[in-house]
Amino acid sequence: MTSEEIIEQSVSEGIRGDLSALTKPVEGEVESAGPAVLAWELCVHLRALGSYLRISNHPFSETERTSLPARSFTAEARIARDLMLRCTETLKSSSFAFSFTPLAAEARQQEGEPSLPRGAGPNLDGDRFAYAASILEDLYALYDCVVETENVSFESWLSLAGLGARQLALTGFEQIVAETSERRGRSSVPPELCALASQISPDSLSADVSAILAHLYGMLNLLGFVEASLAADEPLKGTLPVFTLLREESRALLDLVVGRTLRIEGLDPAVHDYLDGVAYAIRMELRKAFEHELVGLSSQRSAPLVFAKVENAHGLLRDCFQQSVIGVARAFDAQLDGAGLFNNFRTKLEQSLLLRRELWDVLAAVRRADQEQEPAALRNLMLRLSHFREGSLRFLMYKDWEALERFVEEASAAKSSTDLQPVLHRFHAFLETLFGQVNMRAVLADHPFDPNASQD
């Protein structure tokens, strides 16, 4: 839908684009790209931009952290610039015009809505959205000039990011955007989980569980933006600010769980263990995503590698957050069925079970071929590999496809057992590591592997 069509639709629906699109509770999934969709996208992008301007949210390896002053931040500045442009275009093209007339000001006060800060700029009596767009437009121009130098130093990035954060605060949207995101997270929690949380005692624990579930569903909502970009084959470096926002949100959730919920007096030990396990899993998956998968994403030039990094990080965090929801719920209802909470959970579980079993079968075939070094064992291995490539290979992370295909090619090209043996040794080590990674998937947490159930 074009910008003109969006505006036309909003007018036909009688929506003049006031802040109701930003502040009303969101119920269910939005089916059309109307003002409510643009409002939610604007909320996410503004929050993502704010988090991206804080360097503590960025993915760095341990080695990179020790050499940040010598590192170029041109790629990071470029991503921030592009997001500023996107927010500016949304503000300009949407039908969110809102004039600061006395009547509008009175309406905002009745709704408990904050006004622009005093002294924020000359347009206090003008169009609020145009004012915000002008701030972002100026930031975009500044970042665009700096990016053109192709040499944004660490100190320059810190200055740019600090200026960007201060100017972003002047838009006056920070509180509204945060509250809108919180409400959307709460409205996304299924009724059965809301009912479960409401029945928990004491009241302090009930309130915390409600907040934890809302936080987890809010982060799953954010991951929906990444998933949409993956499905639409859009430029994926632009998802990095969403990931930095997810990191910030995850830290806030961990502070809630560890700093408050686990310290509630008289907390049942079993509940404590469940919630402590959820916190531990989130910390571990965050580390995988931000200290491994997403490292180097901003400067990566290979499109397949960018796709693999984003897909892997998205899959890790989605599975982790979904499993965390289930873990929190099972702390109070051990019989809860996770498949009923997420449409993709049962499918993901079935796919992971099949992948793990068939990967074990391939591993066993490689081991046998390596030990026996007989033509029959090699033929069996190639048949297993052919079956795996045509079947559950697609359930692996994209990054592992190329490595596995390379081993298959090397094994096929070997002209003698002498050539084949070192390939099989390396292939076996690779498959053992890969099997371990698959077996650690969050969705398989309640399904321990039984090698005897697999057919050799």
- H or E element that contains 380: helix 375-390
**Is the separation of the CB atoms in 177 and 46 below 8 Å?**
yes
**Is the separation of the CB atoms in 380 and 365 below 8 Å?**
yes
Which amino acid is present at 240?
A: L
**Would you list the DSSP string of 219-272?**
HHHHHHHHHHHHHHT--SGGGHHHHHHHHHHHHHHHHHHHHTGGG-TT--HHHH
Q: Quick one: pLDDT at residue 453?
A: 66
Q: Quick one: pLDDT at residue 173?
A: 78
Q: Quick one: pLDDT at residue 101?
A: 33
Each residue's pLDDT expressed in tens, for the chain with a length of 456 residues? 433 333 234 333 332 233 333 333 333 332 334 566 777 888 899 999 999 999 999 999 888 888 889 889 999 999 999 999 999 888 877 444 433 233 334 444 444 444 444 433 333 333 667 788 899 999 999 999 999 887 899 999 999 999 999 999 888 777 778 888 888 889 999 999 999 999 999 999 999 999 999 999 999 999 999 999 998 878 899 999 999 999 999 999 999 999 999 999 999 998 998 899 889 889 988 998 998 889 999 999 888 889 989 988 998 899 889 889 988 998 898 777 776 777 766 677 788 888 899 899 889 888 888 888 777 888 888 888 888 877 787 777 666 777 787 887 887 777 677 778 888 888 889 888 888 888 877 678 778 888 776 443
Pick from 74, 81, 76, 47: nearest CA to 59: 76
The alpha carbons of the chain give a radius of gyration, in whole angstroms, of 25
> CB 311: neighbour CB atoms within 10 A?
18
Q: Quick one: pLDDT at residue 105?
A: 42
Pick from 304, 335, 294, 390: nearest CA to 76: 294
**Would you list the DSSP string of 439-451?**
HT-GGGTT----G
Q: Quick one: pLDDT at residue 110?
A: 45
How far is 252 from 381, CA to CA, in rounded Å?
Answer: 48
Q: Quick one: pLDDT at residue 12?
A: 36
